[in-house]
Amino acid sequence: MADYIDRISLDNDLGAIYKKVCTNEISYDKAYVETLNLIYNAPSVDAIKVIRCKDCKFYLNQHDGHPCCDLHLDFWVDEDDYCKWGEKNEC
């Protein structure tokens, strides 16, 4: 599974390294090493993969135009709804 990192936190840390280079506090080589360390040690965010209803194989568009979920037997789902049990529609 892919790691998802906190972009804002990483951006702030990279900005601090950039400032050190601009003020000649550290060399480009040292900045490169610090940058790699930041990327490889960046904390990951808590995320799970979901399938949006519109992309799910259980998504049904009823004849009256109201989409529903065939898995949960829920009427009135929105295209952007999601759940952890969804399965990608391959067609």
Dump pLDDT digits (tens) for 5-61.
888 888 899 999 999 999 999 999 999 999 999 988 888 877 777 888 889 988 887
Q: How many domains does the chain have?
A: 2
HSE value, Cβ hemisphere, 13 Å, CA-based, for 49 = 8
Is residue 57 a part of any domain in this protein? yes
Question: Which residue range forms the structural domain that includes residue 22?
Answer: 7-41
Is residue 2 a part of any domain in this protein? no
User: What confidence score (pLDDT) does residue 22 get?
Assistant: 92
Residue 29's Cα: distance from chain center in Å? 31
Provide the 10 A C-beta neighbour count for residue 43: 10
The angle formed by the CA atoms of residues 43, 48 and 52, to the nearest 5 degrees, is 140
Q: Where are the beta strands (DSSP E) in the chain?
A: 51-52, 59-61, 67-69, 74-75, 82-83
pTM of the model: 0.49
Per-residue model confidence as pLDDT tens digits over 53-76: 889 988 887 767 778 888 877 677
User: What confidence score (pLDDT) does residue 36 get?
Assistant: 93
Q: How far is CA 82 from CA 50, 54, 55, 88, 90, in A?
A: 6, 9, 9, 11, 17
Residues 12 and 37 in one domain: yes
